[in-house]
Amino acid sequence: MNDVVNNPPSWLGVMGGGQLGRMFAQAAQSMGYQVAVLEPAADCPAGQVAQRLVNAGYSDANGLDELARQCVAVTTEFENVPADSLSRLAQSVFVAPNAHGVSVAQDRIAEKRFFVGCAPKSGVMPAPHKVIAALEDIDAISDDLLPGILKTVRMGYDGKGQVRVKSRDDVRNAFEAMGQVTCLLEKMLPLAYEVSVLTARGADGESVVYPIAENVHRDGILFTTTVPGPNVSAQCAKAAQDAATAIVAELGYVGVLCIEFFVLTDGTLVVNEMAPRPHNSGHYTIDACATSQFAQQVRAMARLPLGDVRQHSPAVMLNILGDVWFEDGSDTPRTPAWDKVLGLPGACLHLYGKDDPRRGRKMGHITFIAATLDDAQRQLNAACAILGIPA
């Protein structure tokens, strides 16, 4: 490995072939780079646009070595890529984020311990929690941890691997239903709203933080992201940005990192979780910021100066799930009225190249940019009416 800036037309690699890999590839290509994707699925969103698809599993030694030979740097588009694979790649190529940062984010126990250890610098704590590794642990649950949410330690996302529990019997039933895999019980807190903080850190230790995004979820899946967050005070925004800067530095991280925080009804900021990659809530940056989160990931892994995070337009991002392909009661998909959606001022449509629409599957997103946040929200409501989405 060398430490010089890797200019285009060098090859950059990405582990994972989903929509985040697709948007990363498009950003890298717009900057003159060539992109190789390692992904076991032959027909994947990122593979449709990359110059090369290494069709191999994430732990396949030959595939990893092939990616390393091709590329000057490698990143990941999802947090569940094996940390051992990133370590193998790092023996011969620059990897950002590194195996350590990804491994902490992969494991809720390691993540919570990291947040607690980082609290003197970040100024924020996670929710009270307890590890549930065996049935005996349930009897030792403190009364003040209930009601809570029982979460699997690994592989949980978009509301998967999470169950709300009110009593020890609920915990016991949920734990058994999850196959008695190690879980984390988190106390439910009086939530006012959730924010996500998108930050990026370069190999030189410099970091930037995007404007604070306010999120709304439905059924555990992100529904909308609004930036600037309508409920986010200047004091809350500064506390979240300062915390994110401390966390990304303490982690020794290089790349784009998204950190989710809860804002409680009394204004307290609580750190929830982090994603070691570009994030769904950061998609608005493609259309509303000087540097998108994907271009920022390219800059960090290529060891270029980080880009300007200035937001030039208020924005609301709407996730598009496969549900909008189906009319009520029908199992036959039809094409949504994209022509009508694109007739709305400031509507920026991004579809992910997935051929099989299914209810609950992320198929794309629309970002609405406008002169004012009220205007952007009006266009969001109009699009929801067109697509049959309850606003």
Output the known binding site: 108, 151, 156-162, 186-189, 194, 217, 272-273
Q: Which amino acid is at 363?
A: M
DSSP-based helix, strand, coil % in the chain, nearest 5: 30, 25, 40
Q: In what order do the strands lie in the sheet with 183-187?
A: 129-132, 183-187, 148-152, 162-165
Burial per residue of 18-39, b for 16 or more beta-carbon CB atoms within 10 angstroms, e otherwise: bbbbbbbbbbbbebebbbbbbb
Amino acid at 87: S
Tell me the backbone φ, ψ of residue 176, rounded to 5 degrees.
Answer: -70, -40
Binding site feature residues for ATP: 108, 151, 156-162, 186-189, 194, 217, 272-273
Rounded Cα distance, 363 and 45, in Å: 10
Alpha helices in 31-162 (DSSP H): 61-70, 83-90, 99-106, 108-122, 135-139
Instruction: Report the candidate in 88, 83, 78, 93 with the shortest Cα–Cα distance to residue 39.
Output: 78
Whether 325 contacts 388, CB under 8 Å: no
Beta carbons of 366 and 348 less than 8 angstroms apart: yes
Q: What is the DSSP letter of 305?
A: P
Tokens standing for 91? 């023996």
Work out the number of other CB atoms within 10 angstroms of the CB of residue 380.
Answer: 25
CA gap 149, 196 in Å, rounded: 20
Q: Return the DSSP state at 228.
A: S
Give me the long-range contacts of 80-85 (CB less than 8 A, separation at least 24): 80/106, 80/154, 80/155, 81/15, 81/16, 82/58, 84/59, 85/15, 85/58, 85/59
What is the chain's alpha carbon radius of gyration, rounded to the nearest angstrom?
A: 21
Report residue 277 as tokens.
Answer: 């990659």
